[in-house]
Structure 1
Amino acid sequence: MPHPYTSPPPENFPHYRRPSAKDAPSFTSHLARTDAAQAFSQGAETYQDVRPGYPDEVAALLAGFPSVVDIGAGTGKFTEALGNHTVYALDPSADMCRVLRNKGGALVWRAKAEATALPAASVHAASCAQTWHWVDSPAACAELDRIIRPGGRVVLVWNTLDVTAHPWVLRLSRIMHSGDVQKEGFYPEVGAPWEITQELRLKWEDTTTPERLHQLMHTRSYWLRAKEKTQLRMTHNLNWYLFEHLGFAQGQHITLPYRTDAFVLERAPKSP
């Protein structure tokens, strides 16, 4: 008999320090940012299997734009929502591109946000899902200005564990080293000529199990870069937290709260 959808009982909520006040993940240098991003050169099948998709309202922000390039597309979690457009998809990871290419529906190649290999003024819009915190923002903004036609737009979007919904989710995110957790109400760094003209903030829930939470942890940059000893420690800590501290059972359905933050970028009006 399947277990009911549930969160842990309140008496098992941890007493834990507040969420970080930082707007976004921070890196000590451009090299550190690049090194962390390169962790996604492996594990594409797991990423595709356990990472959630995006609410339909996000893709609707690109309605009316015939061609879209999905930058940092990964395995295509957001690319799949762009079926009504002519879609191009790029990612620096060969493993991610392989999985995405096998899905069909988009022209896929390896490239970065800062150097897409697209011709100038060749697309109407761009999307960056779960990507922008990995890029060199000024360089990426310049490249987007080069490739997007006049009147075009960019959509930046993040799915984030909603660590403010329940204390247990905050501690879960730290045990899993979910480094892409953004502060609620954050704004991304955006450079000229782009400005944020619209924002969309949504809260929703996904259903998972303890076993799939382990797989989700395996898609995090920290895990992918960690040595085996560290991975074993993380596995032990997550097992203790889920099964002993929170009292979940194997295979139990868990309601996991998420937050989606999306931003529309358009070119700022030029001064007369």
Structure 2
Amino acid sequence: MSIHHQAASGFSKQADAYARGRPDYPDAVQGWLTDTLGVAPGKTVLDLGAGTGKFTRLLSQTGATVIAVEPVAAMRAKLVEALPAVAAYEGTAEATGLPSASVDAVLCAQAFHWFATPAAVAEIVRILRPGGTLGLIWNVREQAIDWVAEISRIIEPYEGDTPRHHRGDWQAVFPAPGLAELQLSQFAYQHLGPPEQVIVDRILSVSFIASLPATEQAVVAAQLRTLIAQHPALAGQETVAFPYRTDAWHCHKTG
């Protein structure tokens, strides 16, 4: 199975930080799942690239039968620990191991940019039932906030060749055979919590930071803690609100 080296290394090393630091999703996403994607009791839905199960938990609350596919063993172990009732399998977007026309919806949360290839799209179309739905969702940091932009300035030198949602490269595979045109819904969200969790753990879970040697990770963490200590909006705050915009795309299987 082919997994990008940054994902294989970083997510294996920092599965705990990922589980602690990654934000959840706005309440409005639940309505998007049920009303727009038709995820409901009696339906079967796949969380593809499910990670530690943050979005899987939200899918489980719809009453649908949920399947998770995640190639990184450390991440999958966290998912199984948190959601033992969910069937979780090793697999990739190009080779899920699921039967053809076996799911009503495929959801990719914080993940599709890792496998935005014609082969992955063809696999998604294969496993979707007629009229089934593909959903792609990302929590996007609000760069208009100065301290959020400063976080990006700290980490971007380490980015390298890592696939990133913000570059938009993932959109090159659309329009795709067997899928209708993508449609976008957007929701505002704030991740509330201690700065050590919502800023430091969040950033240490970024794949290309998580894959760094420990000494370089410590440099990044120190810069983040200096920002927290010195920025007027963060200094001395027990709880901070990390602002996000949630981009939720969907399209239906055609034919």
TM-score of Structure 1 vs Structure 2, range by shorter chain: 0.7 to 0.9
Partner of 2:240: 254
Contact 1:195 1:268 in 2 (8 A): yes
Q: Which is higher, the Rg of structure 1 or of structure 2?
A: 1
Matches of 1:110 and 1:251, distance apart in 2: 41
Deviations 1:199-223 (A, max 9, x none): 2111121213332221112211122
Which residue, out of 26, 29, 35, partners 1:58?
29
Q: 2:75 aligns with which of 78, 86, 96?
A: 96
Deviations 1:242-272 (A, max 9, x none): 2134474456221211110011121346xxx
- CA distance in 1 between counterparts of 2:84 and 2:50 reads 13
* Alpha-carbon separation, structure 1, partners of 2:115 and 2:185: 21
- Contact kept in structure 1, 2:48 and 2:69, CA below 8 Å: yes
Check conservation: 1:122, 1:148, Cα contact below 8 A. yes
Q: How many pairs does the alignment contain? A: 236
User: Which residue does the alignment assign to 2:166?
Assistant: 182
Amino acid at match of 1:67: T
Does the CA contact (< 8 Å) of 1:91 and 1:112 recur in 2?
Answer: yes
Q: 1:69 aligns to what SS in structure 2?
A: strand
| Counterparts of 1:250 and 1:75, CA distance in 2 | 31
2:194 matches 1:194: no
User: Residue deviations 1:31-74, cap 9 Å, x none?
Assistant: 9x811221212322221122111123334334334000100001
- Is structure 2 residue 141 aligned with structure 1 residue 155? no
SS of alignment partner, residue 154 of structure 1: strand
Q: Aligned pair 1:79/2:56, yes or no?
A: yes
1:120-135 residue pairs with structure 2 within 5 A? 120-135=100-115
Task: Please say if residues 209 and 250 of structure 1, whose CA atoms lie closer than 8 Å, have aligned partners that are also in contact.
Answer: no
Q: Contact conserved, 1:36 with 1:222, CA < 8 A, in 2?
A: yes
Q: Which amino acid aligns with 1:262?
A: A
> Normalization by structure 1: what TM-score?
0.78
Q: Could you say which residue in structure 1 is the equivalent of 2:251?
A: 265
Aligned residue number for residue 25 of structure 1: none
* Identical columns (%): 33
Gaps of 5+ in 2: none
Larger helix proportion of the pair: 2
Amino acid at match of 1:224: A
- One-letter amino acid matched to 2:178: P
Query: What secondary structure, in the 3-state scheme, does the structure 2 residue paired with 1:150 have?
Result: strand
Q: d(CA) in 1 for partners of 2:98 and 2:137? A: 22
CA apart distance, 1:109: 1.0
- Cα distance, 1:106 vs structure 2: 1.2
Whole-angstrom distance in 2 between the partners of 1:76 and 1:242: 28
Q: Give, in whole Å, the separation in 2 of the partners of 1:225 and 1:219.
A: 9
Aligned partner of residue 92 in structure 1, secondary structure: coil
SS at 1:216 equivalent:
helix
The more displaced of 44-53 and 172-181 is 172-181
1:225 corresponds to which of 186, 190, 211:
211
How far 1:232 sits from its partner (Å)?
A: 2.3
CA deviations on 1:1-23 (whole Å, 9 max, x unpaired) are xxxxxxxxxxxxxxxxxxxxxxx
- Deviations 1:168-198 (Å, cap 9, x if unpaired)? 21112332449646279x9574322223343
Quick check: 2:13–2:211 contact (8 Å CA) kept in 1?
A: no
State whether residues 67 and 87 of structure 1, in contact with CA within 8 Å, keep that contact through their aligned partners in structure 2. Answer: yes
1:48 to 19, 32, 37: 19
Structure 2: how far apart are the matches of 1:57 and 1:115? 31
Give the one of 70, 79, 90 matched to 1:110.
90
8 A Cα contact 1:211 1:250, kept in partner: no
Deviations 1:106-165 (A, max 9, x none): 10011111110001111111100000110042111100111111110110000111112x
What TM-score, normalized by structure 2, do the two folds share? Answer: 0.83
